[in-house]
C-alpha cells in the first residue's frame, strides 16, 4: 500500500486545483483520476472567470467568487512561471446582453441585489444599445441593452486543466490515471482509497469527483446532493480578434475562435449534442452579433455540469471522519484560484476556509 499525506479523488478542475495547492504546501499528495471515460465537466467549460450573476441570495458565495476572481491574475502568472503554459487569462470586464426590455429590467434587478448585498464590493453598469455598440463592434439591433461588470474575465479552461496537472506533477505530486475509486474506508484515523489497481492511504482525503461524489461522499459520512445539468457549446473557426470582452453567451479566445453556448438542459447522464439546442445557441449568437452568420462552426459538444440543489457550491467536512472533505461546484474555472489557494491551504490544516462556512450540505436541511 502506498502512503501519502493527502489523496485527492478526481482530476478535473476542482481536484487538480486542490491537488496543486496541497503539493505547493509540501504535502505528499496523490491525485486519483478516473480517466477519459469519466463525465469530464472540465473538458466542457466555457472559460469564463465570472462574477456577475453569482451568489444572488448568498453573499458568502458572491464574496468567495470575487476573492477567486481577484486572485486569478496572480494565479495565472504563477502557473505560467511553473509550467510555461499561458492559460490566456484576461480581465477587462464582461457583458450580459438582454434581448427584451423585460429581460433588461430583470437583469438590472439582479445586479442591484448583488450590489446591495455586497455593500459596494460588487460594481456594475447598465448600458443601453447605443452605449453597448461603442464597446462591442457589430452588435445586433435586437440587443436592447445589457449589464457590464468590470470584475469579469475569461481564460482558456483546457490550458488551465493542463497547467494544473503539469504544475502538480512538477511539485512531485503522484498522478494515478485510469483509476476509478472502488471503495473508500477510514481505518485508525487514516483513509484507504481502493482503485482497480492499488490501494492508497493518507491522513487526508478530498473528494472532488464531480457527479461521482454523490456516491463516494456517503462512504465517509458526508452527503453531496449533486446532479447533472447539460450544457452544449459550439466553437467557430479562428477569426481575427474583434471582441475584446467576454459575454455570457459569446466569447472570443485569444487564438481567435469563438465559443457559443450557455444552454441548460436537465437530461440525466446524456452528454451528447442536439440540433434544436445548437440551433437556438446559434440563433442567439447571431442576434447578438449578426455578422457571425458567416463564421463556420468547427466543433460542438455537450458536457454535464455538476449542479447542486441551490446552484451554489457545496464544501463538506466530515464530522464522523476528520480529515475527509468533499467539494463540488459548477464554476470550477472561476473558483480555481480560490481552490488552489485558500481552500487547499485550509485543508492542509484539517479545516475548510471560514469564507465558505455557510456552504456545507447541512444547509439543505435547514427548516
- Interface with other proteins, residue 141, by CB under 8 A: yes
> Looking at beta carbons only, is 298 or 319 nearer to other proteins?
298
Minimum distance from CB of 6 to other proteins (Å)? 38
Cα–Cα distance between 347 and 120 in angstroms, integer? Answer: 30
| Residues 207-246 as x/- pattern, contact with other proteins by CB under 8 A | ------------------------------xxxxxx----
> Looking at beta carbons only, is 63 or 143 nearer to other proteins?
143
- Interface with other proteins, residue 88, by CB under 8 A: no
Name residues contacting other proteins, limited to 326-365 (CB under 8 A).
none
- Interface with other proteins, residue 256, by CB under 8 A: yes
- Interface with other proteins, residue 138, by CB under 8 A: yes
Cα–Cα distance between 205 and 193 in angstroms, integer? Answer: 9
Minimum distance from CB of 354 to other proteins (Å)? 43
Q: In 42-171, where does DSSP find H-type helix?
A: 59-83, 101-117, 129-135, 157-170
Cα–Cα distance between 110 and 117 in angstroms, integer? Answer: 11
* Segment interacting with other proteins, rule: CB under 8 A, options 133-141, 154-162, 271-279, 333-341: 133-141
Give the single-character DSSP code of 90: B
> Looking at beta carbons only, is 269 or 291 nearer to other proteins?
291
Does residue 200 contact residue 28 with C-beta atoms inside 8 Å?
A: no
- Interface with other proteins, residue 187, by CB under 8 A: no
> Which sign does the torsion angle of CA 348, 329, 248, 149 carry?
negative
Nearest to 55 by CA among 359, 316, 333, 349: 359
Q: Cell 447522464 sits at which residue?
A: 269
- Interface with other proteins, residue 134, by CB under 8 A: no
Minimum distance from CB of 138 to other proteins (Å)? 3
* Segment interacting with other proteins, rule: CB under 8 A, options 167-175, 185-193, 253-261, 265-273: 253-261
> Looking at beta carbons only, is 170 or 241 nearer to other proteins?
241
> Looking at beta carbons only, is 187 or 296 nearer to other proteins?
296
Cα–Cα distance between 353 and 325 in angstroms, integer? Answer: 12
> Looking at beta carbons only, is 133 or 273 nearer to other proteins?
133
Minimum distance from CB of 237 to other proteins (Å)? 4
Q: Which residues contact 190 (CB under 8 A, 6 or more apart)?
A: 201, 202, 203
Name residues contacting other proteins, limited to 291-320 (CB under 8 A).
291-296, 298
Cα–Cα distance between 164 and 79 in angstroms, integer? Answer: 7
Q: Which of 140, 228, 323, 342 binds other proteins (CB under 8 A)?
A: 140
- Interface with other proteins, residue 322, by CB under 8 A: no
Cα–Cα distance between 276 and 367 in angstroms, integer? Answer: 40
> Looking at beta carbons only, is 180 or 254 nearer to other proteins?
254
Q: Which residues pair with 29 in a beta bridge?
A: 6
Q: Which residues pair with 230 in a beta bridge?
A: 265, 304
Minimum distance from CB of 88 to other proteins (Å)? 11
Cα–Cα distance between 240 and 256 in angstroms, integer? Answer: 6
Q: Which of 36, 81, 255, 266 binds other proteins (CB under 8 A)?
A: 255
Nearest to 185 by CA among 168, 171, 198, 199: 199
* Segment interacting with other proteins, rule: CB under 8 A, options 104-112, 137-145, 153-161, 172-180: 137-145
Minimum distance from CB of 255 to other proteins (Å)? 5
Grid cell, residue 119, equals: 455593500
CA–chain centroid gap for 339, Å, is 10
Q: At residue 223, what are phi and psi to the nearest 5 degrees? A: -115, 150
Cα–Cα distance between 224 and 216 in angstroms, integer? Answer: 9
Q: Which residues contact 327 (CB under 8 A, 6 or more apart)?
A: 14, 18, 206, 207, 208, 213, 313, 314, 315, 316, 339, 343
Residues forming contacts to other proteins in the complex (CB under 8 A) are 137-138, 140-141, 237-242, 254-256, 286, 289-296, 298
Amino acid at each position: 500500500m502506498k502512503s501519502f499525506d493527502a489523496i485527492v479523488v478526481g482530476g478535473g478542475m476542482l481536484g487538480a486545483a486542490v491537488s496543486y495547492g496541497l503539493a505547493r504546501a509540501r504535502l505528499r499528495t496523490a491525485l486519483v483520476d478516473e480517466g477519459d471515460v469519466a463525465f469530464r465537466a472540465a473538458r466542457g467549460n466555457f472559460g469564463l472567470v465570472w462574477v456577475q450573476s453569482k451568489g444572488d441570495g448568498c453573499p458568502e458565495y458572491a464574496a468567495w467568487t470575487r476573492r477567486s476572481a481577484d486572485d486569478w491574475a496572480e494565479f495565472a502568472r504563477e502557473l505560467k512561471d511553473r509550467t510555461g503554459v499561458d492559460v490566456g487569462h484576461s480581465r477587462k470586464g464582461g457583458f450580459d446582453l438582454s434581448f427584451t426590455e423585460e429581460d433588461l429590467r430583470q437583469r438590472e434587478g439582479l445586479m442591484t441585489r448583488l450590489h446591495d448585498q455586497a455593500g459596494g464590493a460588487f460594481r456594475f453598469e447598465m448600458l443601453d444599445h447605443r452605449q453597448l455598440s461603442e464597446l462591442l463592434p457589430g452588435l445586433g439591433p435586437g440587443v436592447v441593452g445589457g449589464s457590464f461588470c468590470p470584475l469579469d474575465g475569461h481564460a482558456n479552461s483546457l490550458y488551465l486543466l493542463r497547467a494544473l496537472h503539469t504544475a502538480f506533477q512538477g511539485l512531485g505530486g503522484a498522478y494515478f490515471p485510469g483509476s476509478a475509486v472502488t471503495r473508500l474506508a477510514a481505518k485508525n484515523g487514516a483513509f484507504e482509497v481502493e482503485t482497480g489497481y492499488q490501494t492508497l492511504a493518507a491522513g487526508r482525503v478530498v473528494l472532488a469527483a464531480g457527479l461521482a461524489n454523490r456516491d463516494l461522499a456517503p462512504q465517509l459520512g458526508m452527503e453531496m446532493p449533486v446532479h447533472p445539468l447539460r450544457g452544449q457549446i459550439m466553437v467557430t473557426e479562428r477569426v481575427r480578434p474583434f471582441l475584446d470582452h467576454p459575454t455570457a453567451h459569446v466569447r472570443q479566445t485569444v487564438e481567435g475562435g469563438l465559443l457559443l453556448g450557455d444552454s441548460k438542459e436537465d437530461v440525466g447522464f446524456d452528454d451528447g449534442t442536439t440540433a434544436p439546442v445548437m440551433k437556438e445557441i446559434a440563433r442567439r449568437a447571431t442576434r447578438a452579433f449578426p455578422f457571425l452568420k458567416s463564421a463556420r462552426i468547427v466543433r460542438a459538444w455537450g458536457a454535464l455540469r455538476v449542479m447542486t440543489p441551490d446552484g451554489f457550491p457545496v464544501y463538506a467536512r466530515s464530522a464522523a471522519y476528520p480529515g475527509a472533505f468533499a467539494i463540488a461546484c459548477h464554476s470550477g474555472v472561476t473558483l480555481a484560484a480560490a481552490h488552489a489557494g485558500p481552500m487547499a491551504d485550509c485543508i492542509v490544516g484539517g479545516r475548510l476556509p471560514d469564507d465558505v462556512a455557510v456552504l456545507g450540505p447541512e444547509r439543505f436541511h435547514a427548516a
